[in-house]
Amino acid sequence: MPVKLPQFRSRREAGPEKLWTRCPSCSEQLFNKQLERSAHVCPSCGHHFRLPAMARLGMLLDEHTFEERDAGLSSVDPLGFVDQKPYPDRLAAAQVATGLRDAATWGFGKLEGQRVAILAMDFGFMGGSMGAVVGEKVARAAEGALDERVPLVVVSASGGARMQEGTLALMQLAKTMAALERLRAAGVAYISVMSDPTTGGVFASYAAMGDVNIAEPNALIGFAGARVGAGTIGQELPPGFQRSEFLFRHGFVDRVVHRTDLRAELGRLLRFLAPARLEAPRG
Ligand SMILES: [Zn+2]
């Protein structure tokens, strides 16, 4: 059920033409046109490639229904942060490479005819890291959903908080959670989709807090990396630890959904959740 994406230019289209991509999982050489038709899933082994935010929105939403909000939000450099190069240079390079202002894009759109507030993250923008702009957009998406009383859908792809914004990045965990709590209190549904990878501060805040938490197959999902985890408990970790299927078996995600089924699955969930909405908690 690959959906055509006429309303967005993918990064590949914007850059120099590259015809083939090697699947990192089965090593098959894949024709890029074929990959696009299969929603960037390897037809041989089912490996889910990372998807740019705009392609994700195009895949999930009905054609020509996306109305972007807060497109102009851009990070400043509050700490004057310099590692191997200054943070503003990194930002500028990521902006040129992706055509985005930051690692999250949000707005309203229709998914199988149902209006939603939707946010998609882009791992290609500084590892999908969450600084003040990503946090602000997640909070505003939740507030937009609350204002209109339409469900919120967030698709995460992130390595965690953005180091270059230090404590200001960590503050986004509390801010996004507060906005989601207001949404929950009002009984408006929130569906979280975790794609590869969803880790660190994003996992530790809004990504794991959906009324329904969905994961794409074999996505890396967790807080700290496996090496840190193994070091902390002084034990070897079980195989597949922090992958979608393991987390599903242990009750941490509600569903593992193949990308080509994701739109239909979200459509079903929205029809189920949206009309009545979640019952507001009593007392
Ligand atoms: Zn493959």
Residue ranges making up the domain that contains 163: 50-273
On whether residue 116 sits in a domain, the answer given is yes
Q: Give the H or E element holding residue 196.
A: strand 190-199
For residue 41, give the amino acid letter: V
**Which tokens belong to 157?**
């792809």
Q: Which residues contact 275 (CB under 8 A, 6 or more apart)?
A: none
On whether residue 24 sits in a domain, the answer given is no
CB 244 within 8 A of CB 194: yes
Ligand 1: centre distance to CA 44 (Å)? 5
**Tens-binned pLDDT, residue by residue, of the chain (283 aa):** 444 444 444 554 444 568 999 999 999 999 999 998 999 999 999 999 999 999 999 999 999 999 999 999 999 999 999 999 999 999 999 999 999 999 999 999 999 999 999 999 999 999 999 999 999 999 999 999 999 999 999 999 999 999 999 999 999 999 999 999 999 999 999 999 999 999 999 999 999 999 999 999 999 999 988 888 888 889 888 888 899 999 999 999 999 999 999 999 999 999 998 755 455 555 4
DSSP string covering 61-95, please?
Answer: SPTT--EEESTT-----TT--BSSSBHHHHHHHHH
**How many other CB atoms are there within 10 angstroms of residue 99's CB atom?**
17
Closest CA to 14 of 112, 97, 93, 137: 97
Residue with tokens 């038709």: 37
Ligand 1: centre distance to CA 124 (Å)? 20
Number of domains in the chain: 1
Residue with tokens 């969450």: 130
- pLDDT value, residue 17: 61
Length of the chain: 283
- pLDDT value, residue 238: 87
- pLDDT value, residue 282: 55
On whether residue 194 sits in a domain, the answer given is yes
On whether residue 253 sits in a domain, the answer given is yes
Ligand 1: centre distance to CA 22 (Å)? 8
Ligand 1: centre distance to CA 127 (Å)? 22
On whether residue 3 sits in a domain, the answer given is no
On whether residue 208 sits in a domain, the answer given is yes
What is the Cα–Cα distance from 134 to 151, expressed in whole angstroms?
Answer: 19
Residues near ligand 1 ion, CB 5 Å cutoff = 23, 25-26, 28, 42, 44-45, 47
Q: What is the pTM of this model?
A: 0.90
Q: What is the CATH number of the domain that holds 257?
A: 3.90.226.10
On whether residue 39 sits in a domain, the answer given is no
CB 192 within 8 A of CB 213: yes
On whether residue 40 sits in a domain, the answer given is no
- pLDDT value, residue 224: 87
> Which residues lie across from 24 on neighbouring strands?
none
Ligand 1: centre distance to CA 36 (Å)? 14
Ligand 1: centre distance to CA 26 (Å)? 4
What is the Cα–Cα distance from 53 to 68, expressed in whole angstroms?
Answer: 12
What is the Cα–Cα distance from 42 to 46, expressed in whole angstroms?
Answer: 5
